[in-house]
Amino acid sequence: MQQINRAVAANDHENMMKALKMITTKFDIPIYPHDASFYLKLLKKRLFEKEFDGSELWLDDVKAIAKTVTSEIEEMQESKSYVLNVFSFVFIDFIELEN
């Protein structure tokens, strides 16, 4: 946990993702390395909230944020698929009307 706390405090994407991967692997939580900035933003926000009482990020914080990012990314992927399907139907209808 010290590694992730130091990495988040230092805005160190690379070491934050290394520490996050070690944690999420133990708890079978998928991570998305290409979204390191999203993880860092949420972890930094939570660390800032905890600093008021002199605390650091705890395991429960990291697990909750990893699950939140996973959920948000999966929701975005579903929305993307929906929009692409709608676009495909509209485009196909347009092509058929043109012919």
What is the total residue count of the chain? 99
Which residues fall within 8 angstroms of residue 16, CB to CB, at 6 or more apart? Answer: 4, 7, 8, 36, 39, 40, 43
What is the rounded CA–CA span in Å between residue 42 and residue 51?
14
- For 39, other C-beta atoms within 10 Å of its C-beta total 24
- Cβ atoms of 27 and 63 within 8 Å: the answer is yes
- Cβ atoms of 39 and 65 within 8 Å: the answer is yes
DSSP output for 56-85: ---HHHHHHHHHHHHHHHHHHHHHHHHHHH
Helix, strand or coil for residue 71? helix
Q: What is the pLDDT of residue 39?
A: 94
Q: What is the pLDDT of residue 94?
A: 65
Q: What is the pLDDT of residue 84?
A: 78
Chain CA centroid to CA 56, Å:
20
In the chain, which stretches have pLDDT less than 70? 93-94, 96-99
Q: What is the pLDDT of residue 15?
A: 95
pLDDT digits (tens, 9 = 90+) for 54-72: 899 999 999 999 999 989 9
Please give the model's pTM, rounded to 2 decimal places: 0.76
